[in-house]
Structure 1
């Protein structure tokens, strides 16, 4: 056991300083040593030993676990070690592995980020920024990152409006590029917010319009208005789908109300049309009834001789027409004039029926009484034989007057009969001539006229009747002869007419065919009763579809005329009720287009009745077009003014002309369309004027581009030259002079900062490389100086080590022998002051002393300027030298403090 204790490894020594020195001297490359270092990092009782072990540990997974250690110093040391791996200062990880490790360690937080941002390359910093999602970290990176590119990238990653505003306030006056990014993103946010508000306003406007429309009564233009609003909503929903989805329910609810109202209006309109059709039919029936009664009354007035059958027919006609009249009046009350006409005609026919019945009953007795009274009166006068030479008594005179009047009437009757007989003889002579000439058609017509005259003059000589019978026999004979010639043609016409029954021809074409066959039949002249009946029956059957068609067409014409009148009324109401100061001109144009389309839909109307409505439609359209043309004229004047302004821009400087041209284009888009015939001409002139400006700019751009290309080539040559000088690693002062000269040459070749940004980045890299070389050389010199001081302080051959020191260090060593031994408290105080100066951590037991010294240092430094970095390094070396040269009673304690000094100096130089 004693031997084991004497020869056990130093890393197992009970003294922390021994274990620390063992760790520093241990080779990390072997697996055994790696496990020892890992165990010490996790299990050692001393915090300083664990920190040194962590600084030597290369096992990344173990380091990640140590970041979760309960002691802050241990977790911070593990984070610092991981940061060195990511920065490429520890281990042998390539760039890809370092990216992956950085992504894996992203949850470890701000400490790791600070390490990377203080010393990482641009690629790692950019990758870290892209992976960072925390806005506070992004703000910190945008403010403190070492390169402009990373700060800009961090600023670009921020999207929250409040965070951008905070970053803009903090970077104002510090980083113009980050501030510009913040302003651009804030401006973009503002534009998006304005667009969002405008979109919401547009959506709300449509909802208000559809809501207002849902409360209005329907009309023929209602469907067009609803369709226009639906199209506007669909267009806005495509542009802003999220807002459209949010507000869709309100619009859909009002749209459904409009659709329901439209359906109800259409149903009510259909019922109204049906009712109107019934009213029209009732009115037509009433007129037809009056026409039939009037015709019947005219026939009764022309006929003197009538029979009981004529009376029965008239009574049946009256009963039937009275029933039809009452049915039509239940549907539509007859007009006053038409009602008066009906009652007058009906009353006259009733009176005629009653009088005719009474006349037929009393006709025999009336005839007898008239004849007997006249004969008896004549006998009495003959018996009296009053002489004509003497004045006759009044009664005899009255009787002679009556007899003279009777004789005069009889003479007139005889004269009329003679005239009628003469007219009949003349007509018979004409009939005989027509028969001689074979004019069958005219002969039939003359025969019908003879029968009509015979019916009006029943008392004619038998000779005339016999003569007429002879002529009719000749007529029948002529018809028989002609019938043999026309019968085949008539039969062909009958067959053609029967073929038209159930024909699939359109109604109008079918009616033309029927009329054509009827004309051909008429041209053939007379025909047999059988043939005529066959032809007439076939024509009636064939015309049935035409009758339905023409009835339906008349109905459609009436309905279309009513619809056109409704359109005129709606347009008139729209014109009178519209506020022309706030009118929606696009809606007006839609209404006019819809009105014309609706008007064309009802094109089938009666031309005679349509004239008045069409004139009204033309007048109201003219008024609305005048309003719309006034608006278009205003737009035309505005666009013409823009054309003139654009044509005058060619005289301005290029940048001013270009900016104003873009502004004019924006104004052009904001102005609605004018007349289509003028819009193209205005646009062509405006486009030509703007294109001239853009063409001139393009030509100037090409010239500048050529000059810029030459500058690029010259700058590339200068850059390649300076890069070659840096590759040769010459004198740093000469390199700095050459770098300055190269920078001036590139600025002369490329005056624009944006154009030489690529070269500026390369020059900055060379500048950084030069600075790093100088810093590295300075650090090497300082490390060498520190090692020389350390070696001189503890070397066995002080003379040889003393000769390697600087003059300043030699003077310090010369005074060492005169210094007294110091206490451990003073040594601790000097060491903690050095750690404060270098910014390195102190052991836990020295934290109270460190805080006390920091407060005193702060109080002493008030009002003094901050030391430069080179002065700080010099102070640290002087302080370290002082500690190394102190005379300490306990050598082992002195060695532990020297180790702390070494760690602080190394930390400061890094």
Structure 2
């Protein structure tokens, strides 16, 4: 029962029966809220007919849209919304409908409004809300309003969309043309972008090749030029190209940095060479001053000679070290040889004196003048050097005294006092050896002097003797533990087997130097034998290593000699066009080889060092000479480049010659370090000016090319928009073709190809239209002669019926051209002597078939032989000239006027098809 009462008392629009609900819709009033709510519920009913009846009673688009959002698969709601907003149903005002369009975003609804709207603004608003190209293409192709089609087409931007629009927009040729033009521009832009990418790729390949190339004078400039070209490109590089570009730039910068480092090293080498030269000069100055200062002294002592030897030894070692690193200047070499000669003179004289010193002392002690004179003769002491004290005494002894004996005793006592003062000085300085020898000499001389005369000096002699003994004891006290330490150290070194031979030899030599430095202080036989025994064991242990070292030194000496011989052979006959860079590499390689083959035997190291120094000096002179020649050659190239810049010639030819000059520049090598950069800057500036002129011309040419392309595009657009209306308009086409010929040649490219294809199609279409216009004008002129033809046909009929040959006279108002007048007279003459009926029928059929060929009409099977014959005649007549359809039509119509007499039956059979063909000839192609 509850279900029954619910069905009984429920509203009819909620009835389970579909028919009842459908009938209930008609009784619902949408102005009443409860009925409107029922209608909205029925809009979502499962039955389509109920939904359709319900939505037809609702006119509120906002509420309908809410219902659509509740149920998307409701076509009745979509259609009702579209009808209400498009104005096909309901009474909504236009502003209200425009507001609803601005609020909606459903593609399906907006497309329906754009297609069905009753107002152009409404459709444009709906199209503006569409954002899918598929919908825009549909509107551009199917919309009935041209403005809406154009608005939709203007928003299609993709290549696929434009291609689809150009194929489907048959309804609007302007939309199709604009789509084709935009598609062409898009493809041209894509081609331009592709070309830009190809240029970027080509530039990237060149930059990568530059990164792999070795350094040369144009390397940095070429890299900077390519970097500027890369930055000047308009399109953006992709990630791969950017990564390759950065890698190539990094390698190029590394090559440049390495070269700059080498240049810096070269500068540093020159600086060190200058420092070495200054060091050599300082060493020479010191030794020269020491040797020059010897004659200025009162006497020459062993200390002076020891100091001179130390300075010479220091200078020789330092000189050899510097010679191994840097070539010695010839002037410094000459000074070095001169100072060594002076040193050898002094040292030789001292060695002779040192060898004769014991005999001189004994001769002085024994007062043996003859032996003393012989010793002085053997010494051969140079006159420019001051005498040593012993020689001075000997010469005074030989000279004697011409006065009384007391004067000689006073002189000896004076010299004895001076030597005491000198002994005190030596003791104050701690010079034990010199003081010991001088003290022994004073003791011997004191024995030969009278005690009374020597009494003032006895106290001083004893005091100084005590100081000497104290110094001896102190040296022994200090040297004793040192000797113990040295003996212990050399014993440990002799027992140590873990150290390499090189380190063992170094420490052995150091211990020997320390032992000798102690002299005779605290010396005893036991320690001396112990030290000597340990040293002998080390010598025996190092004997094989020393032998191998001697062998290596011999090999190194041979290698250095061979290196010197090779370099001397090279310097004896150098190539006239020797590359200074190659010579520099030879010099650097020789220096490396020289350093690698070290050490050499000591007795020959100085000689071979001097030989190599002279060779290096000569080689450097050859390098400087060749570099000077290269600098002169590059200066000539600069002058040629400057003359080339001033010469009147095409910029491209000038740029090619500049490239040839750059190639010659690279082949020359490097000038001297100080001049290479300045020459290169001047040469590069001139080349940059040449290339700037060429680039400016290229830019002007590109601008002119772009201007020609734009002019050609404008001409194409103008001719495309122009449609001839009469045959006389062929002058406009001729002028346009002359303008196009004046713009040629156009630059090659896809854009040019597309423009030329479009131009050819437009010209072909306009020529076809002009030809059809000429034919139509001939047919229209023929219509003016139709009255004359009708008169001839009437005369022909009278001839056939009555046998009377009547002459037709044209009206006064009819102006007949010459050819038509001849045809008219021929027709009148034919009635006087009529040809056979079959011949006239064949002539009419021939004219009909000919006219059908011209009108592109069909011919029957029986007329096929005539068609073939006419085509052969047309080909024969057209040899050597272009066939003119208007002239052919005029000739056919002229022959039609001249053919006769024609019976009414014959004319009745042909006139219908002739009129159809003439009408077809007057049809013009669509614009």
Q: Normalised by the size of structure 2, how large is the TM-score? A: 0.37
TM-score for the superposition, normalised by structure 1? 0.38
